[in-house]
Amino acid sequence: MKQGGLQNYIIRRLFYAFLIAFGVVTVTFILLRVGPSSPADKYLANISSRTQDPAKVIEAVEARYGLDRPLYQQYFNYLVSLARGDWGWSFSTSLPVIELIKRHWIYSFQLILLSMLFASSLGILIGIYSAVKQYTKTDYAATFFSFIGISIPNFWLGIMLILVFSVQLGWFKTYYDTGLPLFSLANLKALILPVITLGTGMMAGYTRYSRSATLDNLRKDFVKTARAKGLPEYIVIGKHVFRNAILPIITIIMFDLAGVVFGGAYLTEIIFGIPGLGRISFNAIFANDYPVVITITLIGAMVVLLTNLATDIVYTWLDPRIRYD
Amino acid sequence: MRRITEVFGGRRNLLFSGLLLALLFILLLDLFFVHHIFSPFVYFYLCFALVIVFYGIYPLYVSRRLTRYYWDRTKRHHLAVIGLVFIIFLVAVAIFGPFLTQDPTKVDFPNKNLPPVGFSAEQSTYDRTTGQFITRETPGTWLHPLGTDDKGRDMLAMLVSGTRISLQVGLMATLIAIFIGLIMGVVSAYLGGWADNALMRFTDIMMTFPFFLLLVFIVFIFGPSLWFIILAIGLTGWTGTARLVRSESLSLRTRDFIMASKSLGASDRRIVFHHLIPNVLSSVIVIATLSIPGVILAEAALSFIGLGDPTVTSWGLVLQAGQRSLETAWWIAVEPGIMLFLTVLAFNFLGDGVRDAFDPRSQV
Amino acid sequence: MATNNTILQVSELKTYFFTRLGVVRAVDGVSFGLRQGECLCLVGESGCGKTATALSILRLVDSPPGQIVGGEIKYHNENLLRSTGARLRQIRGNRIAMIFQDPQSSLNPVLTVGEQIMEPIRLHLKLGHRQARDKALSLMKQVGIPQSAERMAYFPHQLSGGMKQRVMIAAALSCNPEILIADEPTTALDTTIKAQILDIFRELKQQMNMSILFITHDLGTVAGIADRIIVMYGGRIAEAGSTLDIFDQPKHPYTWGLLNCLPTIAERREKLSPIPGMIPSLIDPPEGCIFHPRCQWRMSVCQQAKPPEYVISGEHIAACYLYQKAPASAGL
Q: Is the residue at B168 inside a domain? A: yes
> What is the pLDDT, as a whole number, of residue B6?
62
Q: Is the residue at B363 inside a domain? A: no
What's at C269, amino acid-wise?
A: R
Model ipTM value: 0.82
3-state SS of chain A? CHHHHHHHHHHHHHHHHHHHHHHHHHHHHHHHHHCCCCHHHHHHHHHHCCCCCHHHHHHHHHHHHCCCCCHHHHHHHHHHHHHCCCCCEECCCCEEHHHHHHHHHHHHHHHHHHHHHHHHHHHHHHHHHHHHCCCCHHHHHHHHHHHHHHHCCHHHHHHHHHHHHHHHCCCCCCCCCCCCCCCCHHHHHHCHHHHHHHHHHHHHHHHHHHHHHHHHHHCCHHHHHHHHCCCCHHHHHHHHHHHHHHHHHHHHHHHHHHHHHHHHHHHHHHHHCCCCHHHHHHHHHHCCCHHHHHHHHHHHHHHHHHHHHHHHHHHHHHCCCCCCC
B46 shares a domain with B104: no
B54 shares a domain with B90: no
> What is the pLDDT, as a whole number, of residue B359?
64
**C-alpha dihedral (C116, A215, B295, B79), degrees to nearest 10:** -170
Q: Is the residue at B345 inside a domain? A: yes
CB contact under 8 A, C110 and A230: no
> Looking at chain A from residue 254 to 293, which residues have their Cβ under 8 Å from any Cβ of chain B?
258-259, 261-263, 266-267, 270-271, 281-282, 285-286, 290, 293
For chain B, give the mean pLDDT.
79
Domain of B19 in residue numbering reads as 1-62
Q: What angle do CA A164, A168, A172 make, to 5 degrees?
A: 75
pLDDT digits (tens, 9 = 90+) for A60-98: 666 666 666 677 777 787 788 777 777 777 777 778 888
CB contact under 8 A, C120 and A229: yes
How close does chain C come to A232, measured CA to CA in Å?
7
User: Which chain A positions have a beta carbon within 8 Å of B345's beta carbon?
Assistant: 147-148, 151
pLDDT digits (tens, 9 = 90+) for A119-164: 989 999 999 999 888 888 888 888 888 889 988 988 899 888 888 8
B195 shares a domain with B79: yes
Which DSSP letter does residue B110 get? Answer: G
Give the separation between CA C104 and CA A221, rounded to whole angstroms.
9
How close does chain A come to B267, measured CA to CA in Å?
35
A vs C, Cβ pairs < 8 A, gives: 79
Q: Is the residue at B68 inside a domain? A: no
For chain A, say whether B198 makes contact (Cβ under 8 Å).
no
Phi, psi of C87 (to 5 degrees): -65, -40
Give the separation between CA A203 and CA B251, rounded to whole angstroms.
33
For chain B, say whether A88 makes contact (Cβ under 8 Å).
no
How close does chain A come to B260, measured CA to CA in Å?
34
> What is the pLDDT, as a whole number, of residue B246?
85
Give the separation between CA B306 and CA B293, rounded to whole angstroms.
20
Task: Report yes or no: C46 and C217 within 8 Å, Cβ to Cβ.
Answer: yes
> Is B248's pLDDT higher than 70?
yes
Closest residue of C to A315, CA-based?
C110
User: Which chain A positions have a beta carbon within 8 Å of C107's beta carbon?
Assistant: 222, 225
CATH number of the domain that residue B225 is part of: 1.10.3720.10
**Closest alpha carbon to B315 in B301, B294, B329, B331:** B301
**List of chains touching A (3+ CB pairs within 8 A):** B, C
B167 shares a domain with B20: no
B280 shares a domain with B162: yes
B109 shares a domain with B11: no
For chain B, say whether A106 makes contact (Cβ under 8 Å).
no
Q: Identify any residues that bridge with C70 across adjacent strands, giving them in sequence order.
A: C14
Number of domains in chain B: 3
How close does chain A come to C105, measured CA to CA in Å?
6
Q: Is the residue at B244 inside a domain? A: yes
B106 shares a domain with B125: no
B181 shares a domain with B128: no
> Looking at chain A from residue 197 to 256, which residues have their Cβ under 8 Å from any Cβ of chain C?
219-222, 224-232, 239-240, 243-244, 247
Report pTM. 0.80
CA separation, residue C158 to residues A22, C112, C162 (Å) = 39, 10, 12
Cβ-nearest to A159 among B211, B333, B345: B333
Extended strands (E) in chain C:
6-19, 22-35, 39-43, 66-75, 78-79, 96-99, 179-183, 211-216, 228-233, 236-242, 310-313, 316-318
Q: Is the residue at B364 inside a domain? A: no
Give the separation between CA C94 and CA A4, rounded to whole angstroms.
42
pLDDT tens string, chain C, 332 residues long: the values are 445 688 888 888 888 888 877 788 888 888 888 888 888 888 888 778 888 888 888 888 887 788 888 888 888 888 888 888 888 888 888 889 998 888 888 888 888 888 898 888 888 888 888 888 888 888 888 888 888 888 888 888 888 888 888 888 888 888 888 888 988 888 777 888 888 888 888 888 888 888 889 888 888 778 888 888 898 888 888 888 888 888 888 888 888 887 776 655 555 555 556 666 766 676 777 777 888 778 777 777 778 878 888 887 878 888 888 877 766 665 44
CB contact under 8 A, A152 and B307: no
B109 shares a domain with B5: no
Which DSSP letter does residue B229 get? Answer: H
Q: Is the residue at B69 inside a domain? A: no
B277 shares a domain with B291: yes
In the structure, what pLDDT confidence band is assigned to residue A2 with cuts at 50, 70 and 90? very low
Give the separation between CA B102 and CA C10, rounded to whole angstroms.
79
User: Which chain C positions have a beta carbon within 8 Å of A224's beta carbon?
Assistant: 55, 60, 100, 106
Helix (H, G, I), strand (E, B) or coil at C233: strand
Residue that is last in its domain, among B62, B83, B105: B62
User: Which chain A positions have a beta carbon within 8 Å of C103's beta carbon?
Assistant: none
User: Which chain C positions have a beta carbon within 8 Å of A135's beta carbon?
Assistant: 64
Give the separation between CA A257 and CA B62, rounded to whole angstroms.
44
B253 shares a domain with B239: yes
Q: Is the residue at B199 inside a domain? A: yes
> What is the pLDDT, as a whole number, of residue C332?
44
User: Which chain C positions have a beta carbon within 8 Å of A215's beta carbon?
Assistant: none
Closest residue of A to B298, CA-based?
A263
B169 shares a domain with B57: no
CB contact under 8 A, A301 and B204: no
User: Which chain C positions have a beta carbon within 8 Å of A244's beta carbon?
Assistant: 108-110
